[in-house]
Structure 1
Amino acid sequence: MSDIGSPQQLLSLKVMRLVRPKLMPPNGGSGLSTDPADPSGFSQMISDATRSRCGDTRLDLPVGEFLIAPQMFENIYLGETFTFYVTCINETTDQKTTDVCVKCELQTNSQRVQLPCNIDSASLGVGESTGEVISHEVKEIGQHILICSVSYKTPQEEKMYFRKFFKFPVAKPIDVKTKFYSAENDDVFLEAQIENTSAAPMFLEKIELESSQNYTVTPILLPEDNEMRGCMLNPKDVRQYLFVLSPTDSHHQAGYKDMTTIGKLDMCWRTSMGERGRLQTSPLQRITPGHGDIRLFIDKMPACVRAAECFEMCCRIMNCTDRPLDLKLMLESTQALIYSCPSGVVLGQVAPNTSIPFSLQIVPVQAGFISISGIRLYDSFLKRTYENDDVAQLFVS
């Protein structure tokens, strides 16, 4: 942190970030170790004091041999909680200050946030101080400026005021890349690749996909897993997750144009010392596949049939337009199959974003894999014919 203040004030303001200790390197010594990167020498003072008090170089603490305290102002990452202690001290020898008020604000690239601080109308005698612990969840990346404003009155009732600025950057802890895959039955598969872009290991505690109202989500797990489990990610490590989203019963009323919003990824993690972070992505969007004016669904049909044996195929036609369709079913037999049901059947009007069922009786005349083709739908409103070929395949023995 860098600060700018006025040396002519009766009061001084100090800000200290509060963090948990970190693990010392494997080649460190015993006792409550010091951080060699600490320029203030405060950690060395703690170590010397504990040695002189205990009379030994080893503390009677079970974890004291493995921790470093304190540490320098380390990286702050998006989604973490920034906690600091602000204190105001009267360092004069003979003057008392009154109406001491401290205000803290956090300025980002897009906004200025007022932080809760209850230091108000305080009186500080010689050598006295007042302080408070303040926490704030970091929700933006980039440069942040902590602005601390102090106002008070001197013994002569003169109003005094000064500010200090503390600058620190906020980095992105994880990088998320998503890919969408569309299935024939309107299901959507979401692949999420999560990379640890921070400088320290993290434990991914929770990865959830909060789907939109048009979908229900199910995570795809390994056979040995019963639930979505967390994992440890070292810096630059990548973990992949797969979800399947199935349309709800109301997606037909919503229409295909409203099916672009999938949902949000919610991620929680912890650092090596248990500090928690949480991030949620912006709404994930996908490009809906183009189906034209109508879409033909195959609801039921056999996978294998015998030659010259009639079978039934249950179908459904959906109107993907914003206008009604007046459809007539036309059938054209091919070299591989013959339709044994009448052609020219009027299906009637189909409202927008709705579907109507119908069934076909088909007799295959060739052995091997054949394709179902020759289904024609004629719209009497626009005098347009919709051709549906190669809509399904089956094996004929």
Structure 2
Amino acid sequence: MDNSKEHPLILRVMRLTKPSIITSSPLHNEASDTLPSIMGHSSTQLPAYGTGETLILPHSFGNIFLGETFVSYLSVNNESGSDVTSVSLTADLQTGSQRITLSNKSLNESLKPETSLDAVINHEVKELGNHILVCIVKYNRPNGETRSFRKFFKFQVLKPLDVKTKFYNIECDQVYLETQIQNITPSPICMEKVSLDPSTMYTVQSLDISTHGEFNSQSYTKPSEVRQYLYWLKLKPAHLKKAFTEAASIIGKLDIVWKSSLGERGRLQTSQLQRAIMTPRDLLVQVNKVPERLKVLEPFEVLCKLTNYSDRSKQLMVKYENQSNLLWQGSSGFALDKLNPKESCFITMHLLPTSVGIQSISGMKVVDTELNRTYEFDDIHQVLVA
């Protein structure tokens, strides 16, 4: 590699980024200070010095955050007094795992004095750690000899957000996803978009809704501040038979878009999120329909779905046992039609609330008459009785 000072060409590299804000600390004075009198001002006329905010351009490559777009301006200048032929400029980005070519530009004609070969490169950074921008300049001397030189520019890619997730399994086909996102940059950022892209097996509903629309939409997050988001996912009916399989463990990806305080956009997408699969059950009872408002001593109906997740057909019988605050009405010990594997049937239950407050529907028993095995279902659903 040749020393670039021996060459007729000069390579200049500048990262294109928004300016930052530099804030000067004000210097306050008191009545006893001598500075105002020296300057010919009274202390009441000059309460402070050096106040205000100023934009400052970056003086180095600095740091860049994961998900942001690295943009740089490259310029090869001919500062000699003669033409230079066969000028080419190559820019590669070396990461911890790969080398990416960002630009490969050349001139078919000669580069005249005081002119330049320019290029603008951009790349969305998707890896953490050290990155090196490698710029290679090649040209021909008047005698036809090919010469070259290169420059290296090193910068660090940092993690902007700390994302934590937690799953709450409701049933085998439903799950809540709680997401906590912390701003670990030194500056405020605007959370422009936080969404969950579900897998093809699930539907998703965001529960971060307030009276003003989406919760925390377009709001600034201070350094170290944490924002929480909640999603409700349900298996699509066509995939219910896969509820206890590994295929149902894949939930989807979080897509996060933010902006810095001066408008630079960044985007992060997590890897596939996975939930823990619930232990397979032979039978599963799910509530499909229940009245929203209940009054004490007024009967109500609950529509339930009973699903056979076992590998054999079952001949079933349903029994009820009364609880203290909810009484079962109607017949108990009635038989159902034979239920084949992975099939469901619907049962309408009649109950009478005897106390106000939150009451739990319990005391349902399903008996497999062929195996003489009893399945007990408690805390099937909770209702509010007024």
TM tier, smaller: 0.7 to 0.9
> What's the counterpart of residue 335 of structure 2?
345
Match of 2:105 among 118, 128, 137: 118
* Aligned 8 A contact 2:323 2:363 in 1: no
Structure 1's 151 and 72: CA in aligned 2 closer, same or farther, altered over 3 A? closer
Please state how far the C-alpha of 1:294 moved relative to its aligned partner.
1.9
- TM normalised by structure 1 equals 0.76
- Provide the C-alpha distance between the structure 2 equivalents of 1:26 and 1:395, rounded to a whole number of angstroms: 59
| Matching residue's letter, 1:83 | V
Cα shift readout 1:178-226 (whole Å, capped 9, x = no counterpart): 1222335944222211111112221111112222223332222354322
Q: 1:246 to 1:130 in 2, by over 3 A?
A: same
Distance 1:373 1:4, change over 3 A: farther
Q: Which amino acid aligns with 1:101?
A: S
Question: Are positions 1:105 and 2:92 aligned together?
Answer: yes
Call closer, same or farther: CA 1:159–1:176 in 2, change over 3 Å. same
Distance 1:27 1:127, change over 3 A: same
Report the residue type matching 2:69 in the other structure: T
Alpha carbons of 1:335 and 1:348: their partners in 2 closer, same or farther (altered >3 Å)?
same
Instruction: Say if 1:109 and 1:143, in contact at 8 Å, map to a contact too.
Output: yes
Pairing 1:230–2:218 present? yes
> 2:21 corresponds to which letter in structure 1?
L
Which residue number in structure 1 is paired with residue 229 of structure 2?
Answer: 241
- Asked if 1:320 corresponds to 2:318, the answer is no
Match of 1:264 among 248, 253, 266: 253
Task: Give yes or no for contact 1:17–1:73 (8 Å, CA) kept in 2.
Answer: yes
Aligned-residue Cα RMSD (Å) equals: 3.6
Candidates 145, 162, 165, aligned match of 2:132: 145
Mapped pair 1:293 → 2:282: yes
Name the residue aligned to 1:168: 155
> 2:172·2:278 contact (CA, 8 Å) conserved in 1?
no
Work out the CA distance in 1 between the residues paired with 2:281 and 2:288.
20
Specify the SS of the correspondent of 1:347.
coil
SS class of match (1:162): strand
Pairwise CA distance, 1:315 = 3.0
Structure 2 stretches of 5 or more lacking a match? 27-51
Shift of 1:75: 1.4
Q: Kindly, what percent of the aligned residue pairs are identical?
A: 37
> How many aligned positions are there?
353
CA 271–189 in structure 1, closer or farther in 2 if over 3 Å, else same: same
Structure 1 residue 394: Cα displacement: 7.7
The structure 2 residue matched to 1:23, chosen from 21, 38, 47, is 21
Partner of 2:66: 78
**1:232 positional shift:** 0.9
Change over 3 Å in CA distance of 1:130–1:318 after alignment to 2: same
Distance 1:144 1:255 in 2: 43
TM-score using structure 2 length: 0.78
Q: Is the 8 A contact 1:295 1:319 kept in 2?
A: yes
Q: More deviation in 199-208 or 3-12?
A: 3-12
Q: Which amino acid aligns with 2:338?
A: G
Instruction: Tell me which amino acid in the other structure corresponds to 2:23.
Output: P
Contact 1:98–1:123 (CA<8 Å) still a contact in 2? Answer: yes
Give the drift of 1:160: 1.8
Name the structure with the higher strand share. 2
Cα distance between partner residues in 2 of 1:149 and 1:5? 12
- Tell me the alpha carbon deviations over residues 148-190 of structure 1, each in whole angstroms, 9 at most, x when there is no partner: 1222211111122333222111001111111222335944222
Q: Does the Cα contact within 8 Å between 2:307 and 2:344 map onto a contact in 1?
A: yes
User: Relative to structure 1, is the Cα distance of residues 318 and 128 closer, same or farther in structure 2, using a 3 angstrom cutoff?
Assistant: same
Question: In 1, are the aligned partners of 2:76 and 2:117 still within 8 Å (CA)?
Answer: yes
1:395 is displaced (CA, Å) by 9.7
CA distance in 2, matches of 1:355, 1:268: 42
The residue number in structure 2 matching 1:180 is: 167
Unaligned 5+ residue runs, structure 1?
Answer: 29-63
- After superposition, the Cα gap between the structure-2 partners of 1:340 and 1:68, relative to the gap in structure 1 and judged at 3 Å, is closer
The within-5 A match list for 1:86-105 is 86-94=74-82, 96-105=83-92
Cα pair 2:309 2:341 within 8 Å, conserved: no
> Secondary structure of the residue that 1:341 maps to in structure 2?
coil
Which string of whole-angstrom CA distances, capped at 9 and with x for unpartnered residues, describes residues 259-301 of structure 1? 2222222111111221111111112211133252221223356
2:366 is aligned with 1:376: yes
How many Å separate the matches in 2 of 1:119 and 1:78? 31
Q: Judge conservation of contact 2:23–2:53 (CA < 8 Å) in 1.
A: no
Seen in structure 2, the aligned counterparts of structure 1 residues 154 and 377 have a Cα distance that, compared at 3 Å, is farther
For 1:271, give the aligned amino acid: S
Distance 2:74 2:161 in 1: 30
Mapped to 1, the partners of 2:108 and 2:170 lie a distance apart of 65
**Given that residues 101 and 122 in structure 1 are in contact (C-alpha distance below 8 angstroms), is that contact kept between their aligned partners in structure 2?**
no
Q: How far apart are 1:18 and its partner, in Å?
A: 1.3
For 1:4 and 1:285, how far apart are their aligned partners in 2?
Answer: 53
CA contact (8 A) 1:151 1:162 kept: yes
Does the 8 A contact of 1:104 with 1:149 survive in 2?
Answer: yes
Task: Report the residue type matching 1:238 in the other structure.
Answer: V
Q: Are 1:251 and 2:239 counterparts?
A: yes
Q: CA deviation at 1:247?
A: 3.4
Correspondences of 1:64-75 after superposition (within 5 Å): 66-75=54-63
Tell whether 2:7 aligns with 1:9. Answer: yes
Q: Deviations over 1:135-157 (max 9, x none)?
A: 11111111111111222211111
Q: CA contact under 8 A between 1:144 and 1:167: conserved in structure 2?
A: yes
